[in-house]
Structure 1
Amino acid sequence: MIGHDLGGRYEILTRIGGGGMALVYKAHDILLNRNVAVKVLRQQFVHDEEFIRRFRREAQSAASLSHPNVVSIYDVGQEDDTHYIVMEYIEGNNLNEIIQERAPLQTDEAVRIAVQICDALDHAHHNHIIHRDIKPHNILIGKNGRVKVTDFGIARAVTSSTITQTGSVVGSVHYFSPEHAKGVSMGEKSDLYSLGIVIYQMLTGKLPFLGESPISVALKHLQEEFEAPRLVNPHIPQSVENIILKATRKNQSERYDSAHEMLIDLDSCLKPERLNEPKATFVSDSDMDETRVMPAIRGDFRPVSPAVPPPPVERLERERSSSSQKNDVQWKEEGLAEQKQKGWKRPTTIVLVTLVALALLVWGFSAVLKKLDVPEVDVPYVVGMQESDARAAIEAKGLKVEDPVTREFMGDIPAGEVYEQTKANMRVKQGSFIHLSVSDGAVLEKLANYKGKMLQAAKDELSALGVNVDDSLVFEVEEVFSEEEPGTIISQSPDAGTEFDPKAVELKFMVSKGREKIEMPNLIGKTVAEAKDELKAHELVLNEDDILYEPSYVVKKGIVIESDPYEPKDPVSKGAKVSIRVSSGPPEDAREHQFNISISPAEAGKTSEVRIVYTDARGDNIEWGKRQIQEMQTFPVKVILSPDTEARVTVYRDGQFVDSKTITYEEIVQGAGSSTLSIPGTEIATPPPSPKEEAEPATTEPDQEGQTDGDGETTDVQQ
């Protein structure tokens, strides 16, 4: 169905659910450009004309409902053997999923949901539509919190058809009303009973009745009382428990008269004055129905004839009595005269002959009745058994299995298991025939080859076939490092072409999560050769074309400046390509100059510390270094200049500024390859500049004419 344009209008996108009667798909309405839900009838029902007629009529009836808490039905149609109903698409979850995930629910949330369900039922009942299958699976909760009741009308079509044809009661046994379990006429109060069970489950997280078989659960609805909700969950207010108790009374007369009455009670049950109201009591604590034998839950629902003809022996006695009376009358009227004529022997002979004839007649009838009187036996319930075991159980009771048995593919029932029988839970004559319906299991699908495909595409395809891809035990995914793109399927188990049951298969996929991640090494400050070795050791790729050279005043020639696109310590996949930027040295228009600084100690014969700082194209106030001197020494300091800039060297002795020298780019271009700065041993009285003053040489350097020291003498400064 996936990808099929149903009715030339509804494009089937994916399967979103299904049950025993139909499959539900998400589709796109091409005409109105909106998403819809399409319910498609299962193939085993498409040839049942009575069912189809009821199905369509009830679906059309449900389409007449227009209520914010009822899933709207847009269209009903048929294409070949495909019968479908188009409904409103609800983005969200059903109530059963919510209960399974986080029950018991908070009381206010459960009441809010129940109010909306009850409102929907009130609207439906006013339109003479009974749901008949209220359960959490049929309650949808949208992402906006809106409650939507679905499957109106369909439940009625299913129940009417199956009861008429097979005597089965169709529905969800855990939510059955007692009258539903008995197969008698159902009304509005049956929906209210089911709603009471739903509220019980929301607030307690459990179902009130459980059993080993549907029959045992249905019997409990008829005969047993469930555990009080407040015993299971003490946080339930008494007013809310009272609603549950009243809605689920076995006697219909003790339930709410209508959904509207129950809705009014739900609307006010959380008011402060009602929370601790007295526990509800009822006229009768038991039901006459509770002790009655349950009618057939599955099999033929055949009414007992009100007038049973008397056995042949009784008829014979009546005939004999009538004949005797007639003879007596005749004897009285005619016998007397004849007696007078023929004497007493003839009447005696007649009486004796009559008695002998009657005796022989009675004996003959008794012999025939003994042969015709076949004993009755209980029909064993064999649903859920394997066919061979079912046959043995039936034959052990003196009954026979009607051949051929009905065989159908049933995806949710194992192959060879009996899923339906006739004459269940009743007494029949020995030798009677029992018809069985046996599952052929699921329709097997062939597993496609998903190797090389993306995981999500495989999930979508398998989900459409009915595989529960959200169950890790069913759909196992192992992620491994590989050269493939992340999310690509590398291998699968079972192999492609294997036949599988979508409901029972266990799949395993090995999926690529890309190449293994490592930490990007730090290449900055390394030579090109060192960078290559480092990348090779980490299984990273560096091509010659990815080595980019650029000029730099700061970084020496041949040293790595930066790596791209990954910085040091970034996560990177093994085998990834990396590029680096390498210094080619200063640009071609850069010029180099050397300051030769000759400096003496502050006092002859004593040690002085000399500190030299320079500023050029590489930066400001760069430390050249410190030296200890005891006599005059000359230190070469090389600087680099870019066009329209200047370089300056500053000298400190014993922590005090003593002198500085500046040269411009134009002076170097004119031939000044080097210059000399001489600093004699005479102490300079000028205090050393602060770091801020070093950045502003105009306020700290002496002018070109000279500087007067503390003794009034002028010290020459060479520029």
Structure 2
Amino acid sequence: MIGHTLGGRYELLDRIGGGGMALVYKAKDNLLNRYVAVKVLRQQFMHDDEFVRRFRREAQAAASLSHPNIVSIYDVGQEDDVHYIVMEYVNGHNLNEIIRERAPLQVEEAVRIASQICDALDHAHQNQIIHRDIKPHNILIGNNGRVKVTDFGIARAVTSSTITQTGSVVGSVHYFSPEHAKGVATGEKSDIYSLGIVLYQMLTGRLPFLGESPISVALKHLQEPFEQPRLVNPHIPQSVENIIVRAMRKNPHERYGSAKRMLADLETCLLPERLNEPPLSFDSDEDEEEEQTRAIPALKPEMRMSGQETAARKEPEPKEEEEEEEPKRRWVMPTVLSVLSVVLIGILIWAIMTLRGQLSPDDVEVPTVVGYPLEQAQQMLENAGLEGRQVATEPSSDYDPGVVIKQNKQDMAVKKGAVIELTVSSGPELVEMPKVEGESYDEAVERLVGLGFDRDKIAKNETHDKSDPGTVIDQSPEEGTELNPETDTIELTVSLGEESFLMPNLIGMTLSEAKAAIMQKDLVLPKENIIYEPSYTTENKVFKQLPTEQNEMVTAGTEVKIWVSSGYPADAKTITYNVTVPPAAEGVQSKIRIVYSDARGDNIEWGTQKITRTETFPVTLVLSPSKQGKITVYRDDQFLADIPIPYEDTQTSSFTVDPSYSEGPQASAGEPDRDRNRDKDKDKDKDRESDTPDTDETQGD
């Protein structure tokens, strides 16, 4: 039924337990978004109207209980022929598993567990609900240490037909109270007796009564004393043994009057002043001992006389006869009772021997084969004179494939040659990987966790993609793959959205270079977004772009627009100036650096040259009507001269730096000395224009 949803809300996720009457599943309550345990009646009981009716009534009665040590009942329902009870999910183990693994338990732990069980029983008894099936299997221990009692009242719902089907006594005979074994009405003290056995088992690691058959165990509950707990485990304090002894008295009147009184005793039994208190004793124990050892009274001396003497005394005086009659009456009744006891015991022994005579010759004890591989388990059963037959396979997270996980008969004697039905593990229950691509990451994780996958085993890989951020764009394994939720790992690739990056700088690139840069970044350049215009700044290169901001963040697919220079505008003037510069001293090396400004930009580096004599350097400028040109000369990193080139000045094609500049003050650009040198240059230019207007042309030649 795993994967089935009951009542439109309880999605069965995994099977976590089961017994003779029902299977228990871990489920997700999709309405309240919480985990619950769902107990589903086995199919063979679904059509027993009386059982179903009592099952529902008892479940509803248990639902009325509200106590921290009682598993809460949330819902009771039916879907078609399926009857189910929804209850609190306890994440932990049952007490039977803990006893198997760790018994005997520490005294403090056992007393703590017993106290919580006792508190739960007290609450139930006050609400007129008797459990009747207290045993370790029905005690759940959460991972937080909280004890939870479950299966309240369910055992009462079994009918005669179900007893016939199972072939066993209802409940567990090892935890029966004597009155339960007799078949008489059971009450609160029956639960107290069963709790005493549970406490005995926790502290000793064994049951007080074992036998070859359920009948022999039941008779021991009625007749035989149990071995004192301290003889099995000397570490048990006398105060704790006294609690077990009182709880397990065969006479209900000698047990605790209520679970509340037993709880009060448990809460103080580990106090230092109580640990070594005297052993508990009962008056009835002495009476039973006297009755067992009491002999038939011996005959008086007068009764041992010869026949003649007896005959002579045949007619005693009336007074003497009355005197002898009184003592005679005193031993008649005990004698009769003793004889009757002997007869009854003899009949009981005869019945037991007869019953054992019918069973024991061919009876064998069923070995426990759970946890063994099937072939080994079958061999163990065969060695015991039994036949092991595989009847089913079930998924199991606790056992490897091929290992026996259940057997229909265990810890009991059966006829030699009997068939023991074995259920074998098919391995962990696998879950089909769903498709989560296209879902948000959070939704996908919650869906996988709901299927039983561990949240820590869901790996997240993030990458940039055109999908919305947080969307699952890939999954591994693929949809439909069968996985083990407890061990397998899932990888989900999640979109971070489209990746953003810095807009490349296209200015100064040729068209082919710009296209390559745009393609490399997955940007888009439509043909109509390539615009050719004249430009002062460059020729046949990009001089403008959109997005315009360099280093602006863009994403793949962003549309780009560029302007490519088709050449200089019609009013642009291209002039080459020959700049003649002397060294600081003839024959001594100087470093000449030339910087120019024109329509293409300001402070453009022309370059540097090393000279030892006067040399001329051509500098080409592009002038526009709105911006004049300028050439600046530096020698040995010191400002030497500024040469202004106006747009209207199209005749001057050369300029010689006056050698006298090398003798004047050397100043950096922008300092007052530079301004004075520039004034000298202007004065010399005026002199040249007035005196020798053709000087520049002559120098140009």
- Give the TM-score normalised by structure 2: 0.48
Task: Work out which of the two has the higher radius of gyration on C-alpha atoms and give 1 or 2.
Answer: 2
- Give the TM-score normalised by structure 1: 0.47
Q: Which has the higher helix share?
A: 2
